[in-house]
Amino acid sequence: MVTDHVGQDPQDEVAARFYSKIDRSRAVQQTGEGLWLVLGHPEAVQLLRDRTVSSMTRTPGLGVWDQVSSRFFMFKDAQQHMRLRRMVGDCFTPARLAELKAVIQRATRDRLDRLDEAAATGDRQSDIMAKVAYPVASDAICRLLGVSPVEGAFLGRWAVSLSRLTTDDEFDRSAEEILAFFREQLSAHRETSLCSGLLPIMAERALALGIDDDELLATCILLVVAGFETSANFFGNMLLSLLWRRERFERLLADEALVAPAIEELLRLHSPAHVVKRRTTAATVVGDTVIPADAEVAVLLGLCNRDPRVFDDPDAYRLDRASNPHLAFSQGPHYCVGASLARVELEAMLRAVLDRLPRLALAVEQPLRWSGRFLGRGLDQLEVLAS
């Protein structure tokens, strides 16, 4: 059964229920448990750009995953952060992005063609997360790092495991496996110098920057987990929103020049990442509020992206915004290093959907399945109907 929905996007309903529980009269406030919240867009930008505010909010534990993730540059400050970030910071060149865009479009079209072929034989319903979003995101990250698609299947499985709320034993087992994989890849590069992709580039830069193998391997894992899972998550969130309100999808079919602003607007409304945490190192003025030293601060990016002081009609999906300074990729020194790649990937995937399956629709008899993740909100399953 196909339904032309007229009601509110389910993601907007979830946001409305969550945001209705928050007192939004003050842009910066403290909870009863002592956590400071930043709810306003200008205040979030101010805090995120403040280089005296620390991102070192993760305390290393004894487990393998704790040790690996504590080395992620997203949890480092100042020189430590920049030193690690420089391994990948300028790797997303226009030439490499153009190459990746072509790869992603081809991979997406191939996957969509399979859905279309199955529909022609009567099997119209498919889970587009399993059949398209995850495998295409896996192909992209493999091509970026220079890993074969066969090996990439393992990377995808580990990335999903490491991005979900699961047991410590499962985290550690996946962390051990992905560490062993990248150690083997790094060893192969050093022995043969035949590897392609970012891994050998990162290895050479690590040597020049005095970065040890543990830090290099942790950065590889961060690229896999963040690059794979968040891209797949947002593809599902984006497609749900466009197909739930069918006129949105039809408008893009009629004018594909609107694809880029549609992605930006949906990043604002339905980005997988809703919260980032910081810690003050000294008393810090944010807006008209002084946050004391050594305070834990949560920036609610999803709420800041709906600040009426910055966005007219903030809860509405609008493609005619003169500017869209959303915080889906954060702000300041920790602005997402892969933002340009994410935009290229999402645009390539969406254009392929519009081109190959213009009659794509939601299979509404199937309930939405959301999965618990610490990297953000995403669909575990999204059933669709091909032509």
CATH number, domain with residue 223:
1.10.630.10
Token pair listed for 175: 């962390």
> Which of the four pLDDT bands, split at 50, 70 and 90, describes residue 171?
confident
**Looking at 58-72, 238-252, 284-298, which range is the least confident one?**
58-72
Residue at 148 is within a domain: yes
Q: Span 282-310, mean pLDDT? A: 96
Residue at 3 is within a domain: no
> Which of the four pLDDT bands, split at 50, 70 and 90, describes residue 2?
very low
Residue at 2 is within a domain: no
Residues 86-103 as b/e (b if ≥16 CB within 10 A, e otherwise) read bbbeebbeeebbeebbeb
Residue at 66 is within a domain: yes
For residue 381, pLDDT over 80 is answered with yes
Residues 163-174 as b/e (b if ≥16 CB within 10 A, e otherwise) read bbebeeeebbbb
Q: What is the pTM of this model?
A: 0.91
Domain that residue 290 falls in: 10-385
Say what the pLDDT of residue 384 is: 92
Domain tally for the chain? Answer: 1
Residue at 322 is within a domain: yes
Q: Span 273-289, mean pLDDT? A: 94
Residue at 1 is within a domain: no
Strands 296-300 and 36-38, sheet pairing? parallel
Q: Are 140 and 104 in contact (CB under 8 A)?
A: yes
- H or E stretch covering 38: strand 36-38
**Looking at 56-60, 101-105, 229-233, 247-251, which range is the least confident one?**
56-60
Residue at 19 is within a domain: yes
> Which of the four pLDDT bands, split at 50, 70 and 90, describes residue 34?
very high
- H or E stretch covering 278: strand 275-280
Quote the mean pLDDT of the chain.
87
Three-state secondary structure call for residue 265: helix
Residue at 324 is within a domain: yes
Three-state secondary structure call for residue 139: helix
Give the C-alpha separation, 247 to 229, whole Å: 28
Q: Which of 79, 65, 278 is nearest to 172 (CA)?
A: 65
